[in-house]
C-alpha cells in the first residue's frame, strides 16, 4: 500500500527511486512488532536514513506547538480508528491514554441507527458523509447545517427510500461515544503530574484528527472539561505538517526520531 501511494505521488517511473530521509508517523500505542513491520515496509524506498516518530509528537509540532518546552501540552487526536490522548513535555510523552472510539465508531453507530429505527440500510460511506455534512456533538450549535435527505434501501421491501434528518438526530446517535472520549480526556488530566496539570489548565487542550471538525466540539469539551479547547482546523495534516517541519532539518530532531 505504501508503495502504491508513493507511486501516485511520484508517478514518473524512475529506474532508481531513492529518498534521502524517510520519516513515518506511528501511533504511540503501536506495539514493537507493529513498529518493526512499518520499518520493514519502509525498506523498499532505498532511503539513506529512515526514522519513525510518534504521531502525537508530530501532530503537536504540526499545530505549531513547541514540544521542547518544559510546560505540559495536551493533545487529543480523534482519528478514524482510535482516539489518542497524550501530554507532552520536554519532547517526551509523559501521560498517555487511547480508546478505540473514534470516527469509525461514529460511522457505524449512524449506520446502525438507520437500520434499527427506520429499517433503512445505508452504506458505511453514506454514514460517514452524513457525519461530515451534518454531524454535531451538541444540540445547540452556531450555524446549524440544513437537514439532509439521505437515500437508502428499505430492509423489508428492498425498495429505495429517502429520509430527511437533521444534526440533532446525529447528535443523539453519537452522544454516548463522545462522552466516552470526554471521560478518557478527564481521566488523562487526572493522572497527569500536578505541575503539568496547571500548565494545561492555562494552555488548554489541542484537538486534532479528522473528527475534531465535528460541529460543537469546542463548546462541548469546554463545558465538560473546563479548560480552553483549541481545535486544529487543519486536522488532517497536523502529523504530516510536523514531519515536514522535521524534514527541513532532521539533525535537530534526533531526540524525537526513532531509528
Ligand atoms: N468534516 C468532518 N467532520 C467530522 N469528521 C470528519 C470530517 N472530515 C473527515 N472526518 C473524519 O476524520 C477521520 C479521518 O481523520 P484522520 O485522517 O485524522 O484519521 P487517521 O489518521 O486516518 O486515523 P487514525 O489516527 O485512527 O489512524 C474519518 O473518521 C473521517 O470520517
Ligand atoms: Mg491519525
Place of cell 488523562: 188
| Ligand in nearest proximity to the CA of 103 | 1
| Ligand in nearest proximity to the CA of 132 | 1
Query: Using CA positions, which residue lies closest to atom 8 of ligand 1?
Result: 210
Residue 79, ligand 1, Cβ within 6 A: yes
Q: What is the pLDDT of residue 20?
A: 87
Q: What distance in Å separates the CA atoms of residue 116 and residue 88, rounded to the nearest whole number?
A: 42
> What's the CATH fold of domain 104-166?
Actin; Chain A, domain 4 (3.90.640)
CA 256 to chain centre: 20
Low-confidence residues in the chain, pLDDT < 50: none
Q: What distance in Å separates the CA atoms of residue 106 and residue 20, rounded to the nearest whole number?
A: 39
Q: What distance in Å separates the CA atoms of residue 34 and residue 39, rounded to the nearest whole number?
A: 9
> What's the CATH fold of domain 1-63+236-259?
Nucleotidyltransferase; domain 5 (3.30.420)
> What is the residue extent of each domain of the chain?
1-63+236-259, 104-166
Q: What distance in Å separates the CA atoms of residue 21 and residue 51, rounded to the nearest whole number?
A: 8
Q: What angle do CA 132, 138, 144 make, to 5 degrees?
A: 60
Residue 82, ligand 1, Cβ within 6 A: yes
Same fold, 1-63+236-259 and 104-166: no
Residue 83, ligand 1, Cβ within 6 A: no
Query: Using CA positions, which residue lies closest to atom 28 of ligand 1?
Result: 80
Q: What is the pLDDT of residues 63-82, one digit of tens each?
A: 999 999 999 999 999 999 99
Say if pTM beats, i.e. exceeds, 0.85.
yes
> Ligand 1, closest atom to CA 239?
21
Which of 54, 82, 103 most suits a substitution to test ligand 1, by most atoms within 8 Å of the C-beta?
103
Amino acid at each position: 500500500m505504501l508503495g502504491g501511494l508513493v507511486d501516485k505521488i511520484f508517478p514518473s517511473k524512475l529506474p532508481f527511486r531513492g529518498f534521502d530521509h524517510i520519516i513515518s508517523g506511528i501511533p504511540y500505542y503501536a506495539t514493537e512488532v507493529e513498529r518493526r513491520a512499518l520499518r520493514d515496509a519502509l525498506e523498499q524506498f532505498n532511503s539513506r536514513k529512515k526514522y519513525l516518530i510518534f504521531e502525537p509528537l508530530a501532530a503537536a509540532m504540526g499545530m505549531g506547538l513547541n514540544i521542547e518546552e518544559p510546560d505540559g501540552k495536551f493533545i487529543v487526536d480523534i482519528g478514524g480508528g482510535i482516539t489518542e490522548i497524550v501530554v507532552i513535555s520536554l519532547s517526551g510523552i509523559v501521560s498517555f491514554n487511547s480508546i478505540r472510539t473514534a470516527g469509525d465508531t461514529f460511522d457505524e453507530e449512524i449506520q446502525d441507527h438507520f437500520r434499527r429505527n427506520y429499517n433503512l440500510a445505508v452504506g458505511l460511506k453514506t454514514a460517514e458523509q452524513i457525519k461530515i455534512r451534518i454531524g454535531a456533538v451538541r444540540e445547540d450549535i452556531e450555524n446549524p447545517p440544513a437537514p439532509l435527505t439521505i437515500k437508502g434501501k428499505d430492509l423489508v421491501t428492498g425498495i429505495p427510500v429517502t429520509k430527511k434528518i437533521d444534526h440533532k438526530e446525529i447528535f443523539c446517535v453519537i452522544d454516548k461515544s463522545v462522552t466516552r472520549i470526554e471521560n478518557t480526556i478527564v481521566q488523562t488530566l487526572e493522572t497527569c503530574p500536578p505541575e503539568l496539570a496547571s500548565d494545561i489548565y492555562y494552555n488548554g487542550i489541542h484537538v486534532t484528527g479528522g473528527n475534531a471538525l465535528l460541529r460543537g466540539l469546542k463548546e462541548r469539551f469546554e463545558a465538560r472539561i473546563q479548560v480552553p479547547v483549541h481545535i486544529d482546523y487543519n486536522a488532517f495534516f497536523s502529523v504530516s505538517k510536523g514531519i515536514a517541519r522535521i524534514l527541513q532539518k532532521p539533525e535537530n530532531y534526533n531526540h524525537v526520531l526513532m531509528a
